[in-house]
């Protein structure tokens, strides 16, 4: 019966949107938002695979994440240059991958240093290969993905220390990679968004600091007690029990949830942070994390673009084969990157 239910779910997620709307005549609403029909089909499939009240082992969770990435994300476009190399992390070398649609290293290109999501315990260069490929192609710049150390083998702050060290190394070695260090920023999704925000805060005001940040449904508050997290306790893709499990594995014995390196929402000075793009999703328990971070940036006078997808679920930019809005989201981020890297010449500058 279980296999038949899963098969039925797989068929449903591949159905055209217009047919799914006939199947799901009534859909969940939250805060006046209605869940996207494709996200609903995928969420219900996820629920058929999971055993209620059972948390997987770390190995099982990692295997599931890799399988989902392979099944439900569209392949990215071809690029002229994709290179695997090593950067220097906090305690040694880390694997990294550079994406660019030009092989010309002489004309320095703007770049985004990307930290993958995965609840701090899973994800790698392969799980986010398509996301990085698309951002590089559509933005016209370079994306560098960093394979930081994961929990629970490496508890906080090992992973975020790697992210910071990798960014500094890339800044120092930018020219050799064809990167313009003056147009270098950070980004990431979920746990990776948390890391990007911490790197920006740690280096704010210094000579070498991210010039912008892209945060895709980021984790910003380690208390895991926002209204959206509690109200969406049984959310598709990321129910609260999973979020708490991820954070517990990440933190180890660390319990200062107000520490801004664990919870970037508690950064003391937001005014020194760079121009920011934040994406949130209406049926993602982390939506209040992102929105609260946007409010802090706005109050501090930092330029911030907040793009909210009201009907979407967590991780939808990695699920583009079944959720078309994931592609739209990445295209919009790429457009923002292009505008950030190449601001239009003002009328005054042309005179």
One digit per residue, the tens of pLDDT, for the chain of length 351 reads: 456 666 667 778 888 999 999 999 999 999 999 999 999 999 998 888 777 778 999 999 999 888 888 889 999 999 999 999 999 999 999 999 999 999 999 999 999 999 999 999 999 999 999 999 999 999 999 999 999 999 999 999 999 999 999 999 999 999 999 999 999 999 999 999 999 999 999 999 999 999 999 999 999 999 999 999 999 999 999 999 999 999 999 999 999 999 999 999 999 999 999 999 999 999 999 999 999 999 999 999 999 999 999 999 999 999 999 999 999 999 999 999 999 998 873 333 323
Active site residue 190: yes
Radius of gyration of the chain from Cα atoms? Answer: 20
Tell me whether the omega of the peptide bond preceding residue 85 falls within 30 degrees of 0, making it cis. no
Q: How far apart are the C-alpha atoms of 30 and 309, rounded to whole Å?
A: 13
**What does the alpha-carbon distance between residue 113 and residue 170 come to, in Å, rounded to a whole number?**
8
Number of neighbours of residue 44 by Cβ within 10 angstroms? 16
Helix orientation angle between 191-203 and 158-172, rounded to the nearest 10 degrees: 60
pTM of the model: 0.95
Say which of 190, 200, 226, 228 is annotated catalytic: 190
314 is catalytic: yes
> Cα angle vertex 295, ends 293, 300, to 5°?
100
Question: Would you call 253 exposed, middle or buried from its count of C-beta atoms within 10 A (0-12, 13-18, 19+)?
Answer: exposed
Q: 254's torsion region: left (phi>0), alpha (psi -120 to 50) or beta? A: beta
The two three-digit tokens of residue 156, written as one number: 């906080």
- 281, containing H or E segment: strand 275-281
Q: Residue 121 and residue 47: Cα distance in Å, rounded?
A: 21
The reported pLDDT for the residue numbered 2 is 58
pLDDT value of position 47: 84
Which CATH fold would you assign to the domain 69-341? Rossmann fold (3.40.50)
**Whole-number pLDDT of residue 348:** 37
Would residue 348 show up in a list of annotated catalytic residues for this protein?
no
In angstroms, rounded to a whole number, what is the distance separating the alpha carbons of residues 11 and 151? 34
Catalytic-labelled residue, pool 36, 162, 284, 288: 284
User: Any idea which residue has 């790697």 for tokens?
Assistant: 162
């Amino acid at each position: 019966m279980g296999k038949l239910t899963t098969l039925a779910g797989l068929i449903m997620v591949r159905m055209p949107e217009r047919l799914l709307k006939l199947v799901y005549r009534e859909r969940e609403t939250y805060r006046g938002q209605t869940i996207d029909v494709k996200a609903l089909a995928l969420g219900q499939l996820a629920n058929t695979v999971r055993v209620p009240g059972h948390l997987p082992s770390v190995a099982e969770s990692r295997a599931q994440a890799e399988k989902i990435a392979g099944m439900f994300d569209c392949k990215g476009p071809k690029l002229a240059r994709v290179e695997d190399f090593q950067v220097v992390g906090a305690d040694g070398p880390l694997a990294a991958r550079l994406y660019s649609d030009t092989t010309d290293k002489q004309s320095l290109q703007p770049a985004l240093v990307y930290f993958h999501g995965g609840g701090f315990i899973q994800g790698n260069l392969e799980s986010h290969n398509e996301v990085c490929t698309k951002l590089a192609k559509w933005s016209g710049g370079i994306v560098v993905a960093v394979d930081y150390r994961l929990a629970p083998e490496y508890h906080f702050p090992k992973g975020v220390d790697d992210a910071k060290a990798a960014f500094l190394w890339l800044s120092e070695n930018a020219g050799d990679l064809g990167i313009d260090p003056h147009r270098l920023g950070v980004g990431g999704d979920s746990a990776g968004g948390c890391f990007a925000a911490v790197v920006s805060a740690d280096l704010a005001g210094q000579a070498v600091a991210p010039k912008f940040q892209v945060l895709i449904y980021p984790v910003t508050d380690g208390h895991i007690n926002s209204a959206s997290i509690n109200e969406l306790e049984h959310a598709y893709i990321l129910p609260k029990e999973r979020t708490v499990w991820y954070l517990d594995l990440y933190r180890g014995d660390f319990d200062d949830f107000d520490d801004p390196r664990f919870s970037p929402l508690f950064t003391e000075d937001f005014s020194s942070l760079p121009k920011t793009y934040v994406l949130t999703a209406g049926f993602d328990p982390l939506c209040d994390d992102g929105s609260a971070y946007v409010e802090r940036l706005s109050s501090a006078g930092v330029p911030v673009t907040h793009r909210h997808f009201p009907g979407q679920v967590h991780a939808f930019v990695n699920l583009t084969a079944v959720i078309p809005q994931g592609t739209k989201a990445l295209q919009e981020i790429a457009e923002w990157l292009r505008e950030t890297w190449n601001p239009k010449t003002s009328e005054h500058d042309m005179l």
